[in-house]
Amino acid sequence: MDLLEYKGKQVLARYGVRQLAGGEAATVDAAVAVAEEIGFPLVIKAQVKIGGRGKAGGIKLANSVDEVREHAESILGMDIKGHTVHVLYLERASEIETEYYAAVVFDRSAKAPLVMFSTQGGMEIEQVAEEHPEALATLHLDPLVGFQPFHARRLAYEAGVPADVVRGVGDMLATLYEVFVGEDATLVEINPLVITPEREVMALDAKVTLDDNAMFRHPDNATLDDSSDADPQEVMARQRGLTYVKLDGDIGIFGNGAGLVMSTLDVVAHAGGAPANFLDAGGGAKADAIVASVEVILSNPNVKAVLFNVFGGITRCDEVAKGIIEAYGILEPTVPFVVRLDGTNDVAARKLLADADLPYVYPEATMDGAAARVVALAREQGGGS
């Protein structure tokens, strides 16, 4: 779960990370109310889960209520690389002496937490690594040992931090690691981390990603989830407990097992089509789960045809066939279905489908054949690609 900046800052605040006064607002009037409370000058920032919002015009300085109104109006509803701005964060502007970068990352290749610190803040870390490698210090930690004070000193001195803020920077890094472990985060990134003229260390931005699998340990963090910019099909799928990712194409995909579904998307693309979604019904899906899945797939108006590609291991193909027949009866689809069922109870499944004799349901024997068929049918329905 990726957190918006202001939610990430709420998490950091629990650990005492210093930040400037601020507040979020979803309307222009609410923005004015926040502005009057925190005072001027202030910065208005679009809350989106994507970088580059400053360049896109999503960050503005305001010195008066009129300017807050003007900028809030222009930023709310703005599209930043496909993300619509629904919320603003208003933050008191302050003097900044230096901008640094700090992050704790779950490094899956090294199978260890990676702490990164740089005296070049405010730009992408990849760019720092390329242009100023001397200003970037990195360190893999042993999770069984954790973050020790010497780790902080090593990073601060290696990156060339002035002596009077070594302690402040070190404390900040220790706190970020505490957040990383304490909240089951996979990313805690502060860019920029700023030093004020009073030599205080503060978080000016926050990028926090939490591990969905660990939510049971943090029931309070459920409120940090932000679905205001989520896709309607993805919200619907989540409510039904399905693994669904919306894509740009027009061919609905139903499958079981993440790998086979990914492979199905590729095979459809290989056949010249464009998948409309990723949907993994999981192992052992029963008829009602299949009806729920079909409902989600068909609720996407772009869908011109649907491909069911199942290899039954734990999942029984006859259950899938029953689900398809039931879904067909309940939902009365107007687009064709291509069905390829292989594996456990496949013979019974094919017989069920043959007996049901549904119009616009096309059985196919192989994965490649099914992909070719569904692409052709989508084209007949006026589909693109």
Partner 1 sequence: MSILVGEDTRLVVSGLTGREGSYHALNNRRYGTNVVAGVTPGKGRQDVEGIPVFNTFRAAVATTEANTAMIFVPPRFAADSILEAEDADIATIIAITEGIPAHDELTVYNVLKRNPDVRLVGPNCPGVLSPGKANVGIIPAQFFKPGNVGVVSRSGTLTYQIGNELAQSGFGNSSIVGIGGDPVPGSSFVDVIALFEADPETELIVMSGEIGGSAEEEAAAYIAEHVSKPVVAYIAGLTAPPGKTMGHAGAIVSGSSGGGQAKIDALEAVGVRVGRTPTQVARIAVEILGG
Catalytic residues: 101, 189
Closer residue to partner 1, CB minimum distance, 61 or 110? 110
28 binds partner 1 (CB under 8 A): no
Length reported for the chain? 385
Closer residue to partner 1, CB minimum distance, 56 or 72? 56
Size of the site for partner 1 (CB under 8 A): 50
144 binds partner 1 (CB under 8 A): yes
45/85 Cα distance (integer angstroms): 10
Give the nearest distance from C-beta 273 to partner 1 in angstroms.
10
Question: Judged by CB under 8 A, which of 278, 326, 358, 379 binds partner 1?
Answer: 278
**Residue span binding partner 1 (CB under 8 A) among the ranges 157-165, 178-186, 189-197, 356-364:** 178-186
217 binds partner 1 (CB under 8 A): yes
Please state, as a whole number, how many other Cβ atoms lie within 10 Å of the Cβ of residue 244. 22
Question: Judged by CB under 8 A, which of 20, 123, 174, 247 binds partner 1?
Answer: 247
Burial class (CB in 10 A: 0-12, 13-18, 19+), 183: buried
**Residue span binding partner 1 (CB under 8 A) among the ranges 19-27, 222-230, 289-297, 306-314:** 306-314
Which residues lie below 8 Å from residue 210, measured CB to CB, with a gap of 6+? Answer: 1, 3, 183, 184, 185, 186, 218, 221, 224
Pairing of the two strands 277-280 and 337-343: unpaired
Alpha-carbon radius of gyration of the chain: 26
Q: Are 138 and 125 in contact (CB under 8 A)?
A: no
Question: Judged by CB under 8 A, which of 33, 114, 123, 181 binds partner 1?
Answer: 181
Site for partner 1 in 99-128 (CB under 8 A): 106, 108-109, 111-113, 126
260 binds partner 1 (CB under 8 A): yes
Amino acid occupying residue 12: L
Site for partner 1 in 315-344 (CB under 8 A): 342-344
Question: Judged by CB under 8 A, which of 280, 318, 319, 364 binds partner 1?
Answer: 280
H helices within the chain, ranges in order? 5-14, 28-38, 65-75, 125-131, 149-159, 166-182, 232-239, 258-270, 287-298, 317-331, 346-356, 367-380
7/13 Cα distance (integer angstroms): 10
Longest dimension (CA), the chain: 80
Q: Give the interface with partner 1 as residue ranges (CB under 8 A).
A: 106, 108-109, 111-113, 126, 142-144, 181, 184, 186, 211-214, 216-217, 243, 245, 247, 255-263, 265-267, 269-270, 275, 278, 280, 283, 311-314, 342-344, 366-368
